[in-house]
Structure 1
Amino acid sequence: MPSGFFVTGTDTEVGKTTIAAGLLHAARRAGLTTAAVKPVASGCEVSAQGLRNADALALQAECSIALDYAQVNPFAFAPAIAPHLAARQAGVLLSIPALLAPIRQVLDLQADFTLVEGAGGWRVPLGGTDSLSDLAVALGLPVILVVGIRLGCINHALLSAEAIVADGLQLAGWVANVVDPQASCLDEICATLEERLPAPCLGYVPRLVQVSAAAVAERLTLQPLGLPR
């Protein structure tokens, strides 16, 4: 049956897209059809085709179902600032209904494995009093948490997991992504997270010399998500 997941992170710049692209690649390699949505993205660049976001393009490249860029990234903004601030500057209100509609169109394509990637962490603001977590709740998808492994990540990871569960969603799994290879006690940090996070670890991704979806996929497993690896 088709499976969809919401991907969030412990913070911004923790490698959510790197991990999401790796998960999509692993699913494709296992013979599954794939689709992805990054509903809102800031820090987009101007191109002949319009605003384009590097993260959204990376996800689009790992979709086995052909999707137009606007389907993958329906709300794109140029300023490299928080999405709600970028949207405000553009005169756009990021409401939950406005974001839900394009996401559900992609989910309705019934890919075997669909990822919806958030922006930043769990409580990133949208328009009004809404947050990206409200979008995840409205979708009702199980959540994959990307933990940027560095000093302080244990607290960020545990608080994020608590918030996800408190919001009534399933934490389906988490990924350890090393963002600071110079941090002390990397193995001990990951061991602590495995002991305390209420979900299986889907993989440990070290700092890679050459980052690619294929290289990341080698370090991930889909089996805890109920999918073939």
Structure 2
Amino acid sequence: MKVMTLIVGQLKTNCYIIYDKKESDCIILDPGDDADYIIHVIDSHKLKPTKIIASHAHFDHILAALELQLAFNIPFLVNRKDEFLVTRMKSSAKHFLGIEVDDPPKINKYLKPLDKLKVGNYRLHIIATPGHTPGSVSIFEKNTNILFAGDLLFAEGSVGRSDFKYSDPEVLRVSLSKIMKLPKETIVYSGHGEPFTLKEFGKYWYN
């Protein structure tokens, strides 16, 4: 499985293009902004997006979703528990960054725990990892031991914010405990920053 990392938007969100190098189909994960750039990269690699998925629905992970929906005529998927954040996308971008943005994407399907999404010959397993937001999910590919963790955890032991009104630090801790049961060689691609392994994260993690 191949992963391209595109750093987009003012908050430097990692947008991931996930694909099987033997096939042209790909999945777009967390298109936080800069739709034209994302489209250019996909077209230049001759890839064909099949869906857009969000690890969670904070505005900096979905700002480009509508434009990509329209450009490629593909569905947008997010966990139902984060639907309220999709509807708040415009006001959140205005509040945190002082910018006017396009309308939020239309949700075509809800991501559910235990869902499996096909990309080429690989299967992406959806894992519920709430805490940062109620509907946060992580995406795990077990044959390559690759985990897309959204804003659950970051390099050097950092974890996602849990001080929003809808966040829950105890639930976040439970989600981290769940993820730490995956193989230690798992490579983690987070919503921001560089990739790392669970073994490296474990040096900072005290359950």
Higher RCO, 1 vs 2 (CA within 8 Å, ≥6 residues apart): 1
Structure 1 or 2: more helix by fraction? 1
Structure 1 or 2: more strand by fraction? 2
The answer to whether the superposition gives a TM-score over 0.5 is no
